[in-house]
Structure 1
């Protein structure tokens, strides 16, 4: 009777979904079981992994699986169950099954042990095959008759995958796998391996598994209870919000149009606060629901495995099953929902006729922000700062009236002087600071005697104009210039056959020479640095681009097949491609950062998109390419697709002459080095001002770079140095 009930459960209670892959929604094909105990077709897992960028995650619970798909265990329980269903359907149809041996004649017999349908001819071969003589072969009618009484096992004997004709009867405790008699002689020999009766081990494991299923059931109920509590909390938040809104509406009806506008403002504030709280509550519920669903699906699968799986089915995933159950049972408890209490407070204050929204929110200093802190200040000039006070969630919050917001600056005698702070009464404050003395000006900002993040701020203050000279007596015919992530000056020191680095104070730091690594001495013209801190240098002598790390170790070189006379080099901020200007062949070469040649654009001429001596290059934040055209006395500008946009040549009181160098700052202002001066322009080339002055004695500026603190560094070729200016 028990066996009949088992058969009935299989046919009536195990649904089609249980035998279907949740990815392809079809019956399993070569089902593989993941460590989380969820099963999918092997082909579905391979496709799913490919679509997920090569990382395999369970489509049900999203847990990552690091085991190669080919090494995952086959779910022989589901395979056997699916085979049983398919064969029983065949037996119930009006069409007799086809012989599974010859695939031609109608089947008349069924082997209980294989299991296999055979015709009258093939059954003789089956019976006389020595290895199959012990199999029980019945006519199909007899098979149906016995099966209907519940006396026939639905799931047949399981045979060894190595010794195909040998039944799995033992369990190797050493390897923790089912084995046949031949396995115990060949690969699992005693005394190295310990064997026990397969059914005996399976019975022990069933007892252990039932105990663990009890714990899993307790965990399932706990998560469900927490989910109900979370849903109740969400309803409480919604109800509270509605109650407080009704108070606002009742009060608002008593006043005039001004009150109606205030009513809307207050309701919006309540809705915003409630929305944030509801969002947190929903996320909390979703997380519990997610864990609950995983536990339910695992529990359902294991219940079916315990009730209907044979010993092999049970033990084939024993380690994975116990690990997964322990993970679920020991799952950390999710923190309960918490939210700020918001209430409507009626008031008779003339400033607000309806009332205000009160909250237990407090200002969180670590979340407060200060905007528009300058990298440097010019002495005598001012800048406006914006202080925003925020709560623990980063939302703008008003400081309690008893808490003071103060800003002060340190004077030359080391005493502190207060700076006026304008309270906007909305959680923001405006402060105006002025560069008072040359050097580093110290600004402290506090709320309730506690410093804001970053306070005190140290802001360099300069006098406008030339403020520093770097490399005097060390450089010989310097060309290109860039600034590295440390704020150092990185210069192509051409006649010294090196790239040299000076720190922010102008002190020599290191140099790259590449002695003996190329056919000819390394002769750099320009240098630029990629986002991953690789140094790209044009090598005029060897007609190539050289790439090194920040210590000057050679990484690669490229371009010798195309490059003839390299000058400037830059990396596009949008496409990340490398651009190299060719001074004598009047074109721009384009490469990937790995050195793969893409294309060239431009040719000799004086029309738009044509060059006559292109020099150093620069890119802005939108990927626009700025090309100094030396003999055409202008700057030509292209988009990131290398299409000509416009050109400009005005330097205010004159036309640009011998344009050699260009740089772009973070605000897309453009700095151009021409014959004897450096000028500032907007992103469209409109002249703004001159950076240097005649008294600075700038001669042949060949390189321009914007320092990390906003100063402008210029290579003075004829004076063999770098001059730094404050604009």
Structure 2
């Protein structure tokens, strides 16, 4: 890293002259008054200092009266950046706690299912075989528990340590800002510390996969061998070929939760609730993680197209207007805010939240772009795109996946935060290029991109879900057991929910094909 000295040679700085008066003397040279300001070191100096220690050209100094900028500006900017990092660290700690809570629930459920399977099998299995199987599976559960607890605690300790370092540095910096004095502390050292913290601290967060553990009982006919079931302790990894996705259930088939025509879908990271945008019903339907209907979100919605949920539970909806609609964690409609339209007629479709917690809303029709906002609606940037951002996904590496709504454009693009195309995803080898039309997308914590295809040909809907790496490398076909695909989302990183327009939504689970 370049020295801090050279960093400040490039900046013009103003000292607070109300704090450095002509009567104030140099601490090193008691008979000299502080009449100069060294911009290189960020401290007031006297004439002796300019000759002995702060000599030109290594040091750039000016008279206090002629300084032109606030000497605290650099600290204030660094503090703002570090506070943003601190928010990410707090969010990462919250996520660790959430993963731990989910792991506890799943361990409890798996243990209960094992005991139930043992009870049902007692009359059909040799006692010795039964006891051996129960002991083996119980030992595996305990091993998983201890290993996962250790990883979770280690991650939390690291984050707490980072949080402490940030808090201490920010406390000192805020004291300097409040006192408007830069020479009572090591100004350069403080700036160096804040800068270094920004470079060193990059909280990536814990993977939801640590909470994955599930016991699937065997059919009683196959339990005679003493094998009571399969213990699954990991979700899909980018190159894992030992498992498969299977249809778990269909949702939205009847009653209050019946789907009329579904578009986008999101999963609440706190509760694992499933939120489905129903265009025809003009509302957002909410189901629990098992697909049971819970409630409906209604507000000033036109044709709700997509939905996203923040880490603190706020819901955001695009509804084919130029506005993003906002709901509270309990589902109360709060407000709306406009996207950047650039003066063009447009409406918003795709919606996602990136790793920094910013909203990305895709606009179509006359303006092909992604409008980037803070969650309070503040506009950050407008990212131009080459095509219609019908559905959007945000990867763990900060990239954006753009799926389009045009049967003449049979590809999806992976772009950077400026809209530059990094990779283009074309038809997978499992699908005819003339049939494949990428529709919607979601991204996992582990670097997998899942894209649905709304395949049409010969008057029929074929459909499929396909997986890719963040570099656009094709991994495989998840399933073709879908039709008229619309939105897609991950539940706890190991289950997929996909909308099918006027048909019920489907939940797919990832199951390993061998004992773990």
TM-score between the two structures when normalised by the length of structure 2: 0.52
Query: Within 5 Å, which residues of 2 pair with 1:675-714?
Result: 675=454, 676-693=463-480, 696=481, 698-714=482-498
Residues 578 and 55 of structure 1, relative CA distance in 2, 3 Å threshold: closer
Q: Are 1:556 and 2:343 counterparts? A: no
Q: Deviations over 1:589-638 (max 9, x none)?
A: 32322242733523xxxxxxx32x54211011122111113321111121
Rounded to whole Å, the distance in 1 between the matches of 2:414 and 2:78 is: 43
Runs of 5+ consecutive residues of structure 2 not aligned to the other structure: 1-26, 35-41, 48-63, 80-99, 108-113, 120-130, 154-209, 217-243, 455-462, 512-516
Q: Deviations over 1:137-183 (max 9, x none)?
A: xxxxxxxxxxxxxxxxxxxxxxxxxxxxxxxxxxxxxxxxxxxxxxx
Q: Are 1:633 and 2:410 counterparts? A: yes
Instruction: Please report how far the alpha carbon of residue 492 of structure 1 lies from its aligned counterpart in structure 2 after TM superposition.
Output: 1.1
Residue 668 of structure 1 corresponds to which residue in structure 2? 447
Rounded to whole Å, the distance in 2 between the matches of 1:667 and 1:586 is: 33
Q: 1:465 aligns with which of 226, 239, 246?
A: 246
Give the length in aligned residue pairs: 316
Instruction: Please report how far the alpha carbon of residue 459 of structure 1 lies from its aligned counterpart in structure 2 after TM superposition.
Output: 1.4
Instruction: Please report how far the alpha carbon of residue 536 of structure 1 lies from its aligned counterpart in structure 2 after TM superposition.
Output: 2.3
Rounded to whole Å, the distance in 1 between the matches of 2:251 and 2:497 is: 9
Residues 640 and 15 of structure 1, relative CA distance in 2, 3 Å threshold: closer
Q: Deviations over 1:576-597 (max 9, x none)?
A: 5533333433612323222427
Tell me which structure has the larger Cα radius of gyration.
1
Residue 349 of structure 2 corresponds to which residue in structure 1? 567
Q: Are 1:622 and 2:397 counterparts? A: yes
CA contact (8 A) 2:259 2:504 kept: yes
CA contact (8 A) 2:345 2:366 kept: no
Q: Deviations over 1:74-128 (max 9, x none)?
A: xxxxxxxxxxxxxxxxxxxxxxxxxxxxxxxxxxxxxxxxxxxxxxxxxxxxxxx
Rounded to whole Å, the distance in 2 between the matches of 1:16 and 1:645 is: 59
Q: Are 1:484 and 2:268 counterparts? A: yes
CA contact (8 A) 1:442 1:457 kept: no
Rounded to whole Å, the distance in 2 between the matches of 1:453 and 1:595 is: 37
Instruction: Please report how far the alpha carbon of residue 533 of structure 1 lies from its aligned counterpart in structure 2 after TM superposition.
Output: 4.1
Query: Within 5 Å, which residues of 2 pair with 1:415-434?
Result: 417-419=134-136
CA contact (8 A) 1:543 1:565 kept: yes
CA contact (8 A) 2:488 2:499 kept: yes
Instruction: Please report how far the alpha carbon of residue 480 of structure 1 lies from its aligned counterpart in structure 2 after TM superposition.
Output: 0.5
Q: 1:584 aligns with which of 365, 374, 384?
A: 365
Residues 564 and 461 of structure 1, relative CA distance in 2, 3 Å threshold: farther
Rounded to whole Å, the distance in 1 between the matches of 2:447 and 2:78 is: 40
Rounded to whole Å, the distance in 1 between the matches of 2:105 and 2:442 is: 18
Instruction: Please report how far the alpha carbon of residue 445 of structure 1 lies from its aligned counterpart in structure 2 after TM superposition.
Output: 5.5
CA contact (8 A) 2:350 2:391 kept: yes
Residues 539 and 15 of structure 1, relative CA distance in 2, 3 Å threshold: closer
Residue 459 of structure 2 corresponds to which residue in structure 1? none
Rounded to whole Å, the distance in 2 between the matches of 1:570 and 1:685 is: 19
Provide the secondary structure at the position in 2 that maps to 1:621.
coil
Rounded to whole Å, the distance in 2 between the matches of 1:410 and 1:453 is: 27
Provide the secondary structure at the position in 2 that maps to 1:413.
helix
Q: 2:379 aligns with which of 581, 596, 617?
A: 596
Residues 480 and 461 of structure 1, relative CA distance in 2, 3 Å threshold: farther
Q: 2:503 aligns with which of 719, 724, 727?
A: 719
Residue 53 of structure 1 corresponds to which residue in structure 2? 76
Rounded to whole Å, the distance in 1 between the matches of 2:104 and 2:429 is: 27
Q: Are 1:24 and 2:24 counterparts? A: no
Rounded to whole Å, the distance in 1 between the matches of 2:468 and 2:117 is: 36
Residues 460 and 445 of structure 1, relative CA distance in 2, 3 Å threshold: closer
Instruction: Please report how far the alpha carbon of residue 47 of structure 1 lies from its aligned counterpart in structure 2 after TM superposition.
Output: 6.0
Provide the secondary structure at the position in 2 that maps to 1:24.
strand
Q: Are 1:644 and 2:427 counterparts? A: no
Residue 236 of structure 2 corresponds to which residue in structure 1? none
Instruction: Please report how far the alpha carbon of residue 496 of structure 1 lies from its aligned counterpart in structure 2 after TM superposition.
Output: 1.3
TM-score between the two structures when normalised by the length of structure 1: 0.38
Runs of 5+ consecutive residues of structure 1 not aligned to the other structure: 1-13, 28-40, 57-369, 378-408, 422-430, 434-440, 516-520, 603-609
Rounded to whole Å, the distance in 2 between the matches of 1:674 and 1:657 is: 6
Q: Deviations over 1:536-595 (max 9, x none)?
A: 21121x432223322333143212655623221123335x55333334336123232224
Q: 1:527 aligns with which of 301, 307, 312?
A: 307
Instruction: Please report how far the alpha carbon of residue 514 of structure 1 lies from its aligned counterpart in structure 2 after TM superposition.
Output: 1.2
Rounded to whole Å, the distance in 2 between the matches of 1:649 and 1:496 is: 34
